[in-house]
Amino acid sequence: MLENIRLSLQGILSHKVRSILTMLGIIIGIAAIIAIVSTIKGTNEQIKNNLIGSGNNAVDVQLYQGEYPYEFDYQSIPDGVPVVSDSTQEAIVQLDQVVSASFYRMRSYCENVYYGNTAYGGAMYGIDEAYFDTAGYQIQQGRGFTAKEYCDNRKVVILDNTAVKSLFSSEDPIGATIDINGEPFTIVGIVVETDPFEPVINSEEDYWTYMGNSAGRMFIPGQSWPIAYQFDEPENCLAKAVDTDSMPSVGKQVADLMNASVMSSDTDSDLQIQYQSQDLLGQAKSLQDLSASTNTMLIWIASISLLVGGIGVMNIMLVSVTERTREIGLKKALGAKKKRILGQFLTEAAVLTSIGGIIGVLIGIGLAQLISRIASVAVAISSVSIVISVVFSMAVGIIFGLIPSIKAANLNPIDALRYE
């Protein structure tokens, strides 16, 4: 085998221009497939990250009325929806695919929240001790809430950086007082996301999905929520799944447990009140599926180059057999068997296409990076596609080199020696 490879490389180097032209179809085909697959994978990851966010695998389970989240900003507490019981919270935390869970209340758009004369229009959260870890926040300045502040219903508040920028110019916000519905809350800390996420807003739906992110967030202890808002208001749940693929399953299990205590009298499905999970992973998959047919077509078009390259390999190997007829006859006269002649020419075809495949992979990676820079499109190089491409290019050489190799192996040694 090593001797066949050495002879193959020797033959390729002795006809450099012809070899390069022969490999051109393979190189173009492999490069195009690598670039397309890398762009597809990068785009799919970008879609997933744009919807899911920082990648902390947190599933949001909120109270819905029909198809839309229940708006406590404008609606009273619904009948038949109690506060989540301790036993339900414990059951959710104990789920196999749940790493941690937090229970919180929220206003997506705040009114009557001021720092001095400056109004705040972001989101307000009433949180428990597990919220920051589950949601992926860390303290940047100041401190978090203490256990005593939770127990004693203290009027303290923590802001994220966006809320700080919207309310303060250059002064230190720690220790300042925020007026929330006429109640003074003292700022004790500032939080930032552990893995910052900047959503891409391309539509009105994207805006409403990420409105809380763009306008900022404030956090107060959940026990202090009734001071500024409603007593016995139902809670939402933020559950952190073990991995991204488990998010839909976790969302459904959590929603089912929370809905077990909901006794809504409204049977109209359009108005029925129940807990639902926001299936962002499902939305991402739907968007990815929309482009799947186009992506498949592009890969098939690129594969045509491989077919053309394979035909080129077969053509050049037939020429090589003709050129080396006397050499083949001499080898057979000296006792070389059909299997050895067949192996030599198959190896030469495989080596030729493998070199083309490797060059194609390198060009494909470079092309993917170039597309990323020029078109601002995310790319993700797939190691699996690289291995498959090289193996496939070798297979093309073997398949299309089979006919010339069989022809060489079947040559009559006497006729071959007489060939001029």
75-85 per-position pLDDT tens digit: 778 888 888 99
User: What single letter denotes the amino acid at residue 251?
Assistant: G
Rg (alpha carbons) of the chain, rounded to whole number: 33
Residues of the chain with pLDDT > 70: what percent? 73
Q: What is the mean pLDDT of residues 204-218?
A: 63
Tokens 């539509």 belong to 203
Q: What is the mean pLDDT of residues 105-127?
A: 90
Distances (CA, A) of 301 to 66, 194, 221, 258, 305: 45, 42, 58, 50, 8
Query: By C-alpha distance, which of 169, 173, 136, 170 is closest to 157?
Result: 173
Tokens of 271: 């108005």
The answer to whether 246 touches 57, Cβ cutoff 8 Å, is yes
The C-alpha atoms of residue 63 and residue 80 are separated, in whole angstroms, by 12
Q: What is the pLDDT of residues 224-252, one digit of tens each?
A: 999 988 888 899 999 998 887 788 888 88
3-state secondary structure the chain: CHHHHHHHHHHHHHCHHHHHHHHHHHHHHHHHHHHHHHHHHHHHHHHHHHHHCCCCCEEEEEEEECCEECCCCCCCCCCCCCCCCHHHHHHHHCCCCEEEEEEEEEECCCCCEEECCEECCCEEEEECCCHHHHHCEEEEEECCCCHHHHHCCCCEEEEEHHHHHHHCCCCCCCCCEEEECCEEEEEEEEEEECCCCCCCCCCHHHHHHHHHHHHCEEEEEHHHHHHHCCCCCCCEEEEEECCHHHHHHHHHHHHHHHHCCCCCCCCCCCCCEEEEECCHHHHHHHHHHHCHHHHHHHHHHHHHHHHHHHHHHHHHHHHHHHHCHHHHHHHHHCCCCHHHHHHHHHHHHHHHHHHHHHHHHHHHHHHHHHHHHHHCCCCCCCHHHHHHHHHHHHHHHHHHCHHHHHHHHCCCHHHHHHCC
Helices 338-375 and 16-52, packing angle to 10 deg:
50
The C-alpha atoms of residue 190 and residue 259 are separated, in whole angstroms, by 34
CB atoms within 10 A of CB 15: 15
CB atoms within 10 A of CB 98: 21
Q: What is the mean pLDDT of residues 268-290?
A: 65
The pLDDT value given to residue 283: 58
**pLDDT at position 129 over 60:** yes
Residues in the chain: 420
Tokens of 163: 């809320």
The C-alpha atoms of residue 372 and residue 21 are separated, in whole angstroms, by 28
Q: Long-range contacts of range 171-178, CB-CB < 8 Å, 24 or more positions apart?
A: 174/141, 174/142, 176/115, 177/115, 178/113, 178/114, 178/115, 178/120, 178/218
The answer to whether 102 touches 135, Cβ cutoff 8 Å, is yes
Q: What is the pLDDT of residues 318-336, one digit of tens each?
A: 777 666 666 666 666 666 6
**Model confidence band, residue 290 (pLDDT cutoffs 50, 70, 90):** low
β 58-65/68-69 pair status: antiparallel
Q: What is the pLDDT of residues 28-43, one digit of tens each?
A: 888 888 888 887 777 7
Q: What is the mean pLDDT of residues 102-114?
A: 90
